[in-house]
Amino acid sequence: MALNLEQKKAMVQEVAAVAQDAQAAIGAEYRGLTAVQMDELRAEARKQGVYLRVVKNTLMRRAVENTPFECMKEGFTGPLLMAFSQEEPGAAARVLKDFGKQNEKLVVKLIALQGRLLNAGDLDRVASMPTRDEAISVLMATMRAPVQKLATTLNEVPGKLVRTLAAVRDAKQ
């Protein structure tokens, strides 16, 4: 179905707004996927907070102008679907990686992370990035470790005294 000029402008504005706030973007070639498979991919993307859109390459070039993902413009060739990670940088990579395991026809071509164009082979590395909750828990564990070690060390002094007194008591009996 052909789009009129107003529909194209609205689509470009929508994608540009998403791209402006996104943390990461991935372009993947979807040639050969069935409509059912695309629906499954879209459903999984929605669950993970990933904006997934198939847009003509000329419109996508316009949509990413003046966004952190302008570096991807040269790679917009062939049938591409764009996945934008809204909340977590690795969310789109995880969705496409998991879906790509079952469907070899989905091939990742472009990866951009906060304005930097990465190699398509970096998909595993981006997908393994921790989620926000995981990163916070690692940070909290790191911050808590010195305090916990200090408390353990300070608690050891009276504990050692009690064990020494118990040993002297046992020796006198």
Predicted pLDDT at 137: 87
Same domain for 66 and 56, yes or no, is yes
Predicted pLDDT at 116: 82
Same domain for 83 and 137, yes or no, is no
Same domain for 107 and 169, yes or no, is no
Predicted pLDDT at 89: 83
Same domain for 158 and 116, yes or no, is no
**pTM of the predicted protein model:** 0.71
Better pLDDT: 96 or 115: 96
Question: Model confidence at 1, in pLDDT bands (50, 70, 90)?
Answer: low
Predicted pLDDT at 162: 84
Same domain for 122 and 68, yes or no, is yes
Question: How many independent structural domains does the chain possess?
Answer: 2
Same domain for 159 and 110, yes or no, is no
Same domain for 97 and 56, yes or no, is yes
Range of the domain at 158: 131-173
Which CATH number goes with the domain that contains 116?
3.30.70.1730
Share of the chain above pLDDT 90, in %: 3
Question: Model confidence at 2, in pLDDT bands (50, 70, 90)?
Answer: low
H/E element, 54: strand 50-54
Question: Model confidence at 20, in pLDDT bands (50, 70, 90)?
Answer: confident
Predicted pLDDT at 158: 83
Cβ atoms within 10 Å, residue 136: 11
Q: How far is CA 155 from CA 32, 158, 168, in A?
A: 65, 6, 21
| DSSP code of residue 112 | E
H/E element, 100: helix 91-102
Same domain for 90 and 73, yes or no, is yes
Is the confidence at residue 130, as pLDDT, over 80? no
Cβ atoms within 10 Å, residue 77: 11
CB 23 within 8 A of CB 114: yes
Same domain for 44 and 106, yes or no, is yes
Same domain for 43 and 28, yes or no, is yes
